[in-house]
Amino acid sequence: MANYAKEFNLLYQPLHKKYRSYIEIIGLMLEAIKYNGATRYSLMKHTSINYVQLEKYIESLTEIGFVEVDIGEGQVLYRASEKGLAFLRQYNVLREILLSACTRNKSINVICEVERKASKGPQHYMIPFKTQFVNR
């Protein structure tokens, strides 16, 4: 269990923002329910949101098919659907790319296409330039 907690903390470092986005909270919720499901209380504790916020997120996620509701043994369990797990995989890939770009503070090459008007008609030139992700 300790290894899972360590892996989880590395996966969900904030993107240097004070407030979390809707997508970040959805990612946290799907991460919490992806294996065995979770109750409302454990979801609220895991994502650090209140009950009203949780109800809004759960309603949205069940509408779009990311979360399935399982009622059994007097408890309501929320489980991630295949669609939700596919979203979570893509979200983790994007998050990893963003975090690695922010932490390395590395220049990346961006190619911009510029159109120049010449006497023979428009011509396209590819102009490379460098940009840098800056930690805030």
**What are the pLDDT digits (tens) for 14-73?**
555 568 889 999 999 999 999 888 999 999 999 999 999 999 999 999 999 999 999 878
Nearest C-alpha neighbor of 61 from the set 11, 23, 13, 20? 23
Q: Where are the domains of the chain?
A: 2-106
Q: What is the model's pTM?
A: 0.62
SS3 state at 129: strand
For the stretch 67-122, pLDDT in tens is 999 987 888 999 999 999 999 999 999 988 888 877 665 555 555 555 555 556 55
Pick the CATH number of 2-106 from 3.40.640.10, 1.10.3720.10, 3.30.70.920, 1.10.10.10: 1.10.10.10
**DSSP H or E stretch at residue 24:** helix 22-33
